[in-house]
Structure 1
Amino acid sequence: MQVSLTDKYLKSLKPNTERIEVSDTVRRGLRFRLSPMGHATWVYEKRVKGGPKRKHTLGEYPLVSIKDARRISAEIQVEADAGIDRVAIKEQEKLANEENRHNTKTVRHLFSDFYDLHVKNLRTAEDNMKVLWDNFGQHADTPCSQVTNLMLQDAIDKKARTAPYQANRLKAALSKLAKFARQRGYFGPDVGRDLAKAIKEQPRERELSLDEVRRIYCATFALGDTFGAALRLLLLTAQRRSEIAKLQWSEVNFEGRYLNLGAARTKNGEGHITHLCDASMAEIADMRALADEDAQYVFTTTGYSPISGFTKTKNKLNEVLENSIKDWRFHDFRTAFATTMCDLGEDEAVVDRVLNHKASGSAPSPVARIYNRAKKLKERRMLLDRWGLLVSTDAIPEDS
């Protein structure tokens, strides 16, 4: 319908079940629209000289009056007759703004987005971000558009000079970060591809003997109350370092004499119970006596965060041991436990359950998964009691 539009006429229109559209006879191509919800808008349609027909939304009525709508449409007509395409110009400006946004986004912003959108719900979120900040944080204020493959590889190579295995973990972390950045246009299409590992890893064959374990246990008494107790509990329970370092009082069952870690705290994502032998209970009791009433973590030097700095701790242990034990790691405690106890005739299945290894066979049924969390608890308790005696008996220095 075409009408010489007036305010009186427009105000007389009432919303209907279908959209009402009226064309203005004064300004060809100008239309008034009234939606079923009562939204009144102006639309102007005009073909650009040598180009496509474009539709322009001019605003809402009565905020944009009839006079304003005719004036704006006249301006667009003049531009369109001259070959100026407002829609194309806006699209180009939008693309330019988007490109500028990516060009000004820094690595710091990328880290934040990577954490919020990809990492924060992972069990290893804190460790993943620490690796990135420690090894690539010096580029935090560098625009993402200026990050190159060389910068990423340099970080890996620098780490490889002192810790080649950790450099491989860094390579994996940077590769994931780069893929995240490429998918969002923050990095160039080839940045982060084909990064080289530091070394080709070989299965570790080093096994600590029971005598070496006892010597390390004895040396921990030179480390002070907190770190010494943490490492002794690590030895006595044969659990993973992060599980003991981040142990919380809520995870200690004094009456039952065991640790109860939820699925979010274990590597394989399954809840795990670890029995505490007499020596382990003594360590826990000593830490409880030293802890603040509202403390969250069992082992803390700050009062509000778990202990860290295990590289320095290991170096100090080596000094106490006068470097008499070569090429060892904290993770070797688990191997030493498994090897020693299996050599003594203990059931491998029980050893595996103490270590919280996932079964290598076919997936168990839902009933079996629930049942297996508690299966062989008695045997596991007996096994850790025996291990605790082997490690701690005659190992504590007389003057401790």
Structure 2
Amino acid sequence: MPISIPGQFKRAAAFIDNLEQPTTRQEIPDSTQSGLYLVVQPSGALSWAVRTKIDGKAAKVTIGRYDKEGSKDDRMGTLISPTQALNVTQARAIAERVRNDAKRGNDPRQQKIDKTGLAAWFDDFVKTARTTGFKGRAVKASTAEEYERIIATNIKPHWTHVTDIRTLDYRDVEKLLDKLTPGARRNAFAVLSAFFRWKPVARAIGRNIIELATAPGKPISRDRVLTHDEIKIVWKAAEKCGYPFGPMTQLLLLTGQRRDEMAELKWSEISDDLSTITLEASRTKNSRPHIVPIAPLAKATIEALPRITDADGKPSEYVFTTTAKTPFSGFSNGKKALDKHCGEPALPEWHLHDLRRTCATELAQLGVKQEVTEAILNHKTGKVSGVAAIYNRYEYQDEKREALKQWASRIQALIADNVTLLKKHA
């Protein structure tokens, strides 16, 4: 007599968890639902199948993959898909419906839809990142949004032919990466690494296929710093570019902050007197709260910003937005417009992150101490390190304000005509 899955849920889950990986494909019958089987593959993949009769002929219907937690999709129970996640209780419920449909002459195999295919796996992955996360806590909102963007732009369009995640292997990953630019290739590989390590995916496929794929090479360290003439060109181009990308670019140059931290800036993060920007720990790359003093030129830039409202007239919480509901995210189109306004000849290849590097370099030329510059950038990995980094909790607020004030004055002089600047040495 074959061993069957226990009826009680906890015992059934424990039984499945303790299954040994077979050398050949096995079907283990369920003890409570007739016709329901757990299919165990030599790869370790587990799926649910129902054996019944359709039009008088024996048939097997794959209803989903095994997952201890199961699916939280509200449509579960109305869909039949080999990729949906089902725990023991859910599989039994669907199996009963499949057999009842077959008895009434309805072919349950015709009810399969594509909404729970590869796209649904990615949707669940992003949803998990936003809610429970993969290590006991949700990832940052900006990280989850980046996952979603990379999946939508660099992965899904190249895998439209994939109908079953279990058919993917490392060669599919490498073929996808070959179609992308170097930067997009590294981003896609990073997201796929997290995706294929995710337990439900690893369990469905039976292995982590990303481990066999060749990882993209590390990016070449950039050292692009804008010259004084280029700073003027970019600033003037930003003025022509207009809201939201133009003033956002100017504040990136004035403050030296990271692109996403500025793009997602909220009005509530700016003090009432426009003297500081306060970023919460959840919004920063190193997960530390960060206060950015606002220099006079930056204050004037902020004062000139419009307050965007939604269709109901409610002011948006975001400083830079085109929808009033979400922060600005059109970096590619914004950069193209900015480059167009830079005129001819175009600036040699440059990125928004170069503004941050330019700010740091100019601060050094102004004689600002390295630890103050690092405090401005919220990037304390240089001079203040080791024991000093542990015990030095001084935030350099006054020094940061004076440094950014000097830097804003230099920009103001640069964008004026017929001004020659002398370097200030420490």
Q: Does residue 122 of structure 2 align to residue 111 of structure 1?
A: yes
Shift of 1:271: 0.5
Per the alignment, in what secondary structure is the counterpart of residue 30 of structure 2? Answer: helix
- Greater mean alpha carbon deviation, residues 104-113 or residues 255-264: 104-113
Q: Following the alignment from structure 1 to structure 2, what is the Cα–Cα distance between the partners of residues 56 and 331?
A: 58
Q: 1:336 aligns with which of 352, 355, 358?
A: 358
Q: Following the alignment from structure 2 to structure 1, what is the Cα–Cα distance between the partners of residues 324 and 219?
A: 38
* C-alpha distance after superposition, 1:277-299 (max 9, x if no partner): 11111121111566666221011
Aligned partner of 1:362 in structure 2 is 386
The verdict on how the C-alpha distance between 1:280 and 1:256 changes in structure 2, with shifts beyond 3 A counting, is: closer
AA aligned opposite 1:318: D
The verdict on how the C-alpha distance between 1:190 and 1:305 changes in structure 2, with shifts beyond 3 A counting, is: closer
AA aligned opposite 1:172: A
- Percent identity, please: 26
Aligned partner of 2:401 in structure 1 is 381
Q: Following the alignment from structure 2 to structure 1, what is the Cα–Cα distance between the partners of residues 6 and 146?
A: 52
AA aligned opposite 1:380: K
The verdict on how the C-alpha distance between 1:310 and 1:396 changes in structure 2, with shifts beyond 3 A counting, is: farther
Aligned partner of 2:412 in structure 1 is 392
Q: 2:329 aligns with which of 298, 308, 326?
A: 308
Q: Following the alignment from structure 1 to structure 2, what is the Cα–Cα distance between the partners of residues 312 and 350?
A: 34
Q: Following the alignment from structure 2 to structure 1, what is the Cα–Cα distance between the partners of residues 219 and 129?
A: 27
Aligned partner of 1:353 in structure 2 is 375
Alignment coverage as a number of residue pairs? 312
Q: Following the alignment from structure 2 to structure 1, what is the Cα–Cα distance between the partners of residues 307 and 332?
A: 27
Q: Following the alignment from structure 1 to structure 2, what is the Cα–Cα distance between the partners of residues 179 and 127?
A: 18
Per the alignment, in what secondary structure is the counterpart of residue 265 of structure 2? Answer: coil
Q: Over aligned residues, Cα RMSD in angstroms?
A: 3.1
Q: Following the alignment from structure 1 to structure 2, what is the Cα–Cα distance between the partners of residues 158 and 170?
A: 11
Aligned partner of 2:21 in structure 1 is none
Contact 2:155 2:176 in 1 (8 A): yes
AA aligned opposite 2:156: G
Q: Following the alignment from structure 2 to structure 1, what is the Cα–Cα distance between the partners of residues 218 and 316?
A: 43
Q: Following the alignment from structure 1 to structure 2, what is the Cα–Cα distance between the partners of residues 319 and 384?
A: 29
Aligned partner of 1:143 in structure 2 is 164
The verdict on how the C-alpha distance between 1:396 and 1:294 changes in structure 2, with shifts beyond 3 A counting, is: farther
Normalising by structure 1, we get a TM-score of 0.70
- Which residues of structure 2 form unaligned runs of 5+? 8-26, 40-46, 50-61, 66-81, 85-116, 132-137, 418-426
AA aligned opposite 1:194: L
Q: Following the alignment from structure 1 to structure 2, what is the Cα–Cα distance between the partners of residues 278 and 55?
A: 71
Aligned partner of 2:38 in structure 1 is 95
The verdict on how the C-alpha distance between 1:320 and 1:288 changes in structure 2, with shifts beyond 3 A counting, is: closer
Contact 1:167 1:197 in 2 (8 A): no
Shift of 1:95: 1.2
Contact 1:207 1:336 in 2 (8 A): yes
Structure of larger gyration radius:
1
The verdict on how the C-alpha distance between 1:171 and 1:318 changes in structure 2, with shifts beyond 3 A counting, is: same
The verdict on how the C-alpha distance between 1:363 and 1:293 changes in structure 2, with shifts beyond 3 A counting, is: farther
Q: Following the alignment from structure 2 to structure 1, what is the Cα–Cα distance between the partners of residues 38 and 6?
A: 19
Bigger fraction of residues in helix: 1
Normalising by structure 2, we get a TM-score of 0.66
Q: Following the alignment from structure 2 to structure 1, what is the Cα–Cα distance between the partners of residues 396 and 208?
A: 51
AA aligned opposite 1:135: N
Shift of 1:193: 2.5
The verdict on how the C-alpha distance between 1:88 and 1:227 changes in structure 2, with shifts beyond 3 A counting, is: closer
Shift of 1:396: 6.2
Shift of 1:226: 2.1
AA aligned opposite 1:242: D
Q: Following the alignment from structure 2 to structure 1, what is the Cα–Cα distance between the partners of residues 209 and 130?
A: 20
Q: Following the alignment from structure 1 to structure 2, what is the Cα–Cα distance between the partners of residues 289 and 202?
A: 40
- Greater mean alpha carbon deviation, residues 186-195 or residues 343-352: 186-195
Per the alignment, in what secondary structure is the counterpart of residue 273 of structure 1? Answer: strand
